[in-house]
Structure 1
């Protein structure tokens, strides 16, 4: 089976898209689902954001499957403009509504705060008000207009399964030698 890379241009207008609980449901692209937000950092909170990255990395070291419910492929955080602005970019396998609801539920369950608490205007009641969380993300979302996938429409679970098969096959071939 040959996998053909693919790109999809995403329309600027979203009125024609199916509406979910929190607004338009962006179509699945070759890169799956995802979103990018750019927001202002609360004054003096850039180091707290960096530290939150260390906290998250440590939490994942302790429990590598901590974020598994989010079905993430990638997560990227960037501070820029002299640490006054923050970019969050996530690529995942579920639609936006499910991802954000799962994130709020996960953070509440494990008692983890979100890095977004360091951003100007982020709702203080986000743990009990998923709608406010989603509204903030939607207001700060910077939608992409093209997405490319070297291995289009492949889920994180499918990638992990393929890597397990590859490992098992390699181990079997090593035993034959």
Structure 2
């Protein structure tokens, strides 16, 4: 396996259409999206606190976000804490990821950091189409994606790390 990159063409009508709009192609980095939106005035502290809350929840339950099949998640406040960037890389397509995210938050009984973003629909738990419309409207598609380990899923990476640990343990026991 060797690293790979894909230049993603600008979206046009020839793209496959999923349940909620165009299906961006799977790339060497798998699937993902970047959202950039203005935050509601005065909510930067709330957004940072939500990040701390999520990190703490993951300490208690490391599998909390497992249904999302995430590789990476990055949140950034910028432009003097007036804009927010959400960047996620995951193994499922956009439609599945957003549906799974809505269900996960409803099941866990928690809100989303997106509630601090201007124009985010407050009925998102019962109106997934509005949630998805917001995400699509604020999505900034990438035009190049690179993968050091292309097209490998998070589950495959976890499995490989378990095999590595088991082999290391076996080799240590043989010495």
> What TM-score does the superposition give when structure 1 sets the normalisation length?
0.98
After superposition, give the CA deviation of every residue in 1:73-119 in whole Å (9 maximum; x if it has no partner).
Answer: 00000000000000000000000000000000000000111000000
**Within 2, Cα distance between the matches of 1:45 and 1:131?**
25
How many pairs align? 175
Match in the other structure for 1:27: 25
Match in the other structure for 1:107: 105
**Within 2, Cα distance between the matches of 1:31 and 1:134?**
22
Q: How does 1:119-130 map to 2 (within 5 A)?
A: 119-130=117-128
Match in the other structure for 1:52: 50
Q: How does 1:150-169 map to 2 (within 5 A)?
A: 150-169=148-167
Q: How does 1:63-78 map to 2 (within 5 A)?
A: 63-78=61-76
Match in the other structure for 1:133: 131
Match in the other structure for 1:175: 173
**Within 1, Cα distance between the matches of 2:113 and 2:122?**
12
- Tell me, which stretches of 5 or more residues in structure 1 are unaligned? none
Match in the other structure for 2:116: 118
Deviation at residue 16 of structure 1 after TM alignment: 1.2
- Tell me, which stretches of 5 or more residues in structure 2 are unaligned? none
**Within 1, Cα distance between the matches of 2:110 and 2:153?**
26
> What TM-score does the superposition give when structure 2 sets the normalisation length?
0.99
After superposition, give the CA deviation of every residue in 1:26-57 in whole Å (9 maximum; x if it has no partner).
Answer: 11000000000000010000000000000100
Match in the other structure for 1:144: 142
Deviation at residue 13 of structure 1 after TM alignment: 2.4
Off by >2 Å, runs of 4+ in structure 1: none
